[in-house]
Amino acid sequence: MKALVKAEAGPGLSLTEVPDPTPGAGDVLVRVLRTGICGTDLHIDSWDEWAARTVRAPLVLGHEFTGEVAAVGSSVTDVKVGDLVSGEGHLVCGACRNCKAGRRHLCANTRGLGVHENGAFAEYVVLPEANAWVHRAPVDLDVAAIFDPFGNAVHTALSFPVIGEDVLITGAGPIGIMAAAVARHAGARHVVITDVSEHRLELARAVGVDLALDVSRRTLAEAQVELGLTEGFDVGMEMSGQPVALQDMIGNMAHGGRIAMLGLPASDFAVDWSSVVLKMLHLKGVYGREMFETWYSMSVLLERGLDLSPVITHRFDHTDFREAFATARGGKCGKVILDWTGAA
The domains of the chain are located at: 2-146+308-339, 153-285
pTM of the model: 0.96
Check whether 344 has a pLDDT greater than 90: no
d(CA 111, CA 92): 6
* Count of helix runs (H) and strand runs (E) in the chain: 12, 18
Check whether 79 has a pLDDT greater than 80: yes
- Residue 333, annotated as binding a ligand: no
The CATH code that applies to domain 153-285 is 3.40.50.720
Check whether 39 has a pLDDT greater than 90: yes
Judge whether 2-146+308-339 and 153-285 match in fold: no
- Residue 286, annotated as binding a ligand: yes
Which pLDDT belongs to residue 305?
A: 96
pLDDT band at 44 (very low <50, low <70, confident <90, very high): very high
- Residue 262, annotated as binding a ligand: yes
- Residue 195, annotated as binding a ligand: yes
pLDDT in tens, 159-187: 999 999 999 999 999 999 999 999 999 99
Please give the order of strands across the beta sheet that includes 59-60. 14-17, 2-6, 59-60
pLDDT band at 51 (very low <50, low <70, confident <90, very high): very high
Average pLDDT over residues 127-152: 97
If you average pLDDT over every residue of the chain, what do you get? 97
Distances (CA, A) of 109 to 1, 60, 293, 294, 328: 30, 21, 20, 20, 30
Average pLDDT over residues 301-326: 97
Check whether 93 has a pLDDT greater than 50: yes
Average pLDDT over residues 273-298: 97
Q: Are 175 and 191 in contact (CB under 8 A)?
A: no
Which pLDDT belongs to residue 47?
A: 97
Distances (CA, A) of 31 to 20, 83, 120, 247, 284: 11, 10, 9, 45, 37
d(CA 145, CA 92): 21
Average pLDDT over residues 117-128: 98
Which pLDDT belongs to residue 326?
A: 98
Average pLDDT over residues 63-91: 98
Average pLDDT over residues 75-81: 98
* Residues carrying an active site annotation: 40, 43
pLDDT in tens, 233-266: 999 999 999 999 999 999 999 999 999 999 999 8
Start-to-end CA span in the chain (Å): 10
Q: Are 49 and 99 in contact (CB under 8 A)?
A: no
Which pLDDT belongs to residue 266?
A: 85
SS3 212: strand
pLDDT band at 272 (very low <50, low <70, confident <90, very high): very high
pLDDT in tens, 14-24: 999 999 999 99
Distances (CA, A) of 194 to 45, 144, 229: 28, 27, 17
User: Yes or no: is domain 2-146+308-339 CATH 3.90.180.10?
Assistant: yes
Check whether 343 has a pLDDT greater than 70: no
pLDDT band at 342 (very low <50, low <70, confident <90, very high): confident
- Residue 107, annotated as binding a ligand: yes
Tell which residue, 93, 117, 89, 113, has the closest CA to residue 103: 93
